[in-house]
Structure 1
Amino acid sequence: MTATLIQNQSSGILLNNISWKTYEFLLNELAQQRGIRLTYDRGKLEIMTRSAPHEKYKILLNNISWKTYESLLNELAQQPGIRLTYDRGNLEIMTPSAPHEKSGELLGNFVEVLTDELNVDICSLGSLTCKRQDLARGLEPDKCYYIQNEDAVWNKEQIDLNEDPPPDLAIEIDITSSSLDRLELYASLGVPEVWRYDGNRLIIYHLEGNEYAECEVSPTFPFLLKSEMLRFLELRRTTKEKALLRLFREWVRSQIQFQP
């Protein structure tokens, strides 16, 4: 299954393989929310809403229970093309655009090159659902990695953030902007470092206490300047992917030889 974006006077998302139980959960919880229409046909759930054109890739639902959020997570677990973000009753359903996905893959490739050249073990978990019921918050990064805490999770089939540490690094592509404050969610979950890229601007965030501070250099990779990462991101406009990654690998090697 993939989520299908419905584009007409209204905007909406079509989800497949949704149970009748989940449909009824949503019907009950959305009964008082205006502007939302649900249509269900043998496992296909269409959620329609009127929204601005720039919001065509997302829908925000209010007054959604944790039970319904987890039910949707389970039914969409094997179905690509959907991102769910939950914040204390607010549920955003998003279908990332092609530029969104390409940027995430490229930054992820940078992390793979860095850890490979540094000979650092890494546990890559893609869009792992990071959630905690006690906080009533959950989200799926575009990419996430265990690096400093790799040894704590590398052989685990399931990761529970009530017991396990959060990912050490999350990549957040903000081309399709979220209606929710995802950075606040990352902070509440305790993710130490977040790279956020909107197609033009790259920001490196480091968690200090309960809030993020912007950095010019990655705390995880101390020689990795934000300006250098942005330079390679901009090169993709004129350089094919494999050639770009070769250039990035050569640059990383040139930096490592000067490290103590």
Structure 2
Amino acid sequence: MLLELKRIHLPPGQRVLLQDVTWQELETIIEELGEHRAARIAYDKGILEIMAPLSEHEDDKEIISDLIKALLEELDIEFRCLGSTTFKNELMAHGIEPDQCFYIKNEALIRGKKRLDLTVDPPPDLALEIDITSRTHPNIYQALKVPELWRFEKGILKINLLQDGNYVESQSSLNFPHLPLIAVIPQYLENSKTAGRNATLKAFRSWVKQHLS
């Protein structure tokens, strides 16, 4: 299987599905693919998806991530951003690599840890997925008990909160409950395409300060 994987060329935006992949095979595949790669994986009870994101997908991910970081910094909240870290739980037979993720409320619990094991460590407080290629697997995030999932698709931000084991769409964020982020985040993302990253982040920080005051 590993030899076959090395021969697979995935153009940006494309994906490949492998069935009947055991947990041991998943571990081997992840190790063989390595940490520094463009492709991302999702594993759901034996079905492995490998996907290569589009460049526009990466652009949106970076700007939205920067906006979240700026927001956390302005709120003076400690956080840890772990990017597309592989999160998996063998007991649940699920694994995922989010576009971006943040430890916020649980940051202190994983501070300094180089490797995380979701059988003992908490999941990220917030995961972000850019759905340009319709890749998001909310059922995997549900199984891993990620409290909040942001899905950005076609200019629209949807916030999903975990309630009784299932995601429920919400108008407000669990981590930032008093800010109208559904409207504001897409607006600043769009502004960045004409004003530039730095100018956009500066304007966003000013908006946060004004809103808090």
Please state which band the TM-score falls in when normalised by the shorter chain: over 0.9
1:193 pairs with one of 148, 155, 180: 148
Query: Structure 2: any 5+ residue segments left out of the alignment?
Result: none
- Which residue pairs with 2:168 in the alignment? 213
Q: Check whether the contact 1:223–1:255 (CA below 8 A) recurs between aligned residues.
A: no
Pair 1:100–1:48, CA change in 2 (3 A): closer
**Is the partner of 2:194 in helix, strand or coil?**
coil
Stretch deviating more after TM superposition (88-97 or 230-239) = 230-239
Q: Which residue identity does 1:211 align to in structure 2?
A: N
Structure 2 residue 104 is the aligned partner of structure 1 residue 124: no
Pair 1:240–1:184, CA change in 2 (3 A): same
Distance, in Å, in 1 between the alignment partners of 2:81 and 2:193 is: 26
Q: Check whether the contact 2:13–2:133 (CA below 8 A) recurs between aligned residues.
A: no
- Which residue pairs with 1:22 in the alignment? 2
Pair 1:250–1:72, CA change in 2 (3 A): same
- Which residue pairs with 2:123 in the alignment? 166
The CA deviation at 1:247 is: 0.9
Q: Check whether the contact 1:103–1:199 (CA below 8 A) recurs between aligned residues.
A: no
**Is the partner of 1:170 in helix, strand or coil?**
strand
Q: Check whether the contact 2:157–2:186 (CA below 8 A) recurs between aligned residues.
A: yes
- Which residue pairs with 1:251 in the alignment? 207
Distance, in Å, in 2 between the alignment partners of 1:56 and 1:169 is: 24
**Is the partner of 1:238 in helix, strand or coil?**
helix
2:14 pairs with one of 53, 57, 78: 57
Query: Structure 1: any 5+ residue segments left out of the alignment?
Result: 1-20, 24-37, 39-43
Identity level (%): 37
2:139 pairs with one of 184, 187, 193: 184
Q: Which residue identity does 1:130 align to in structure 2?
A: F
RMSD: 1.9
Q: Which residue identity does 1:177 align to in structure 2?
A: S
Structure with more contact order per residue of length (Cα contacts < 8 Å, sep ≥ 6): 2
Q: Check whether the contact 2:13–2:53 (CA below 8 A) recurs between aligned residues.
A: no
Q: Which residue identity does 1:143 align to in structure 2?
A: Q
TM-score (norm 1): 0.77
Distance, in Å, in 2 between the alignment partners of 1:163 and 1:98 is: 35
Q: Check whether the contact 2:21–2:46 (CA below 8 A) recurs between aligned residues.
A: yes
Q: Check whether the contact 1:125–1:145 (CA below 8 A) recurs between aligned residues.
A: yes
**Is the partner of 2:17 in helix, strand or coil?**
strand
Distance, in Å, in 2 between the alignment partners of 1:110 and 1:205 is: 18
Residues paired across the two proteins, number = 212
Larger radius of gyration: 1
Distance, in Å, in 1 between the alignment partners of 2:178 and 2:188 is: 15
Once the two structures are superposed, what CA deviation does each residue of 1:103-151 show, in whole Å capped at 9, x if it has no partner? Answer: 1111110111011111111011111111011111101001111100011
- Which residue pairs with 2:96 in the alignment? 139
Higher helix fraction (1 or 2): 2
